[in-house]
Amino acid sequence: MSKSKWRLLNTGCNPGAYNMAVDEKLLHQVITGDSLPIIRFYSWAPAAISLGYFQKPEEVLDLAGCRDRNIDVVKRITGGRAVLHHYEVTYSIIASENETLVSGSIIQSYLKISKALLRGLRSLSIPAELVPHGGKKKGLTTACFDAPSWYELTISGKKLAGSAQTRKQGALLQHGSILLDLDINELADTMKFSGPQAKDRFKRMMADRACAINQIMPRQFTVQEVTKALTNGFIDEWQINAVPDKLTKKENRLIAGRMNKAKGKAVFS
């Protein structure tokens, strides 16, 4: 039996607007049948806050604080809550909804993707676990990492990865963040609070509910190490032929057009 063929993309470290434009346009390519299914890895510079599709920046964020700290603000085409992207590995899975490896309900596809991520992390002896049924803790804030969702990755009950998914015209996009480090003060400085006490409560809660690989493990892992391990996790768990690839000329044109459309906006959306 031949292995399913996937494109493996590593688009490197880029601003938030570029990262979101790439996800959007690769989803378009899969919808139109112009691309094989995709596994993509990337990171962020400068740091950025991404908001869920239904979140309103002015209600969630201290936008002046973000500007002062040179933190980009972007909106995702997926739902969910605010994520600070800084010290992390970010992944995207883009495929037809009929692709067996990600097919089924949103929860079923979350599980299939999370199993591959888990396999990659455990190959580095990172003691991650899958949380079924969304865990026992409910999210109490507008930040993503205050509670695990369905089949997300945790270490000792603390959330390690945050993911979000959308489906459009028969295709699926799921992207997520695997934290290498977490600066709770930096995150809190970007969020909007009713006062200092609320901000302090948020920081205590995040310390109790979120974690990062390099704050738990006895040695420091690099983006490259974790990316390689996660890549192998998908290859081994899914038994696929992941072919290293680059963005095509057409894809680069589509991405540039999307970025031009949003040029001048305070928030990429």
Q: Mind listing the pLDDT tens digit for each residue in 130-183?
A: 988 654 455 455 455 445 567 889 999 999 999 999 999 999 999 999 999 999
What pLDDT score does 207 carry?
A: 94
Q: Is 144 a catalytic residue?
A: yes
Single out the catalytic residue among 13, 66, 144, 211. 144
Domain chopping of the chain, boundaries: 4-123+162-178+219-262
pLDDT of residue 189: 92
- 250 C-beta neighbours (distance < 10 Å), count: 12
Q: What is the pTM of this model?
A: 0.92
4-123+162-178+219-262 belongs to CATH 1.10.10.10: no
Instruction: Read off φ and ψ for residue 28, nearest 5 degrees.
Output: -60, -45
Per-residue 3-state assignment (H helix, E strand, C coil) for the chain: CCCEEEEEEEEEEECHHHHHHHHHHHHHHHHCCCCCCEEEEEEECCCEEEECCCCCHHHHECHHHHHHCCCEEEECCCCCCEEEECCEEEEEEEEECCCCCCCCCHHHHHHHHHHHHHHHHHCCCCCCEEEHHHCCCCCCCCEHHHCCCCCEEEECCEECEEEEEEEECCEEEEEEEEECCCCHHHHHHHECCCCHHHHHHHHHHHHHHECCHHHHCCCCCCHHHHHHHHHHHHHHHHCEEEEEECCCHHHHHHHHHHHHHHCCCCCEC
Position 81 scores a pLDDT of 83
The pLDDT assigned to 17 comes to 96
For the chain (269 residues), the mean pLDDT of every run of 10, in chain order, is 92 97 98 98 97 92 92 94 94 98 95 97 97 58 54 92 95 97 93 94 93 96 98 98 98 97 84
What is residue 132's predicted lDDT score, i.e. its pLDDT?
82
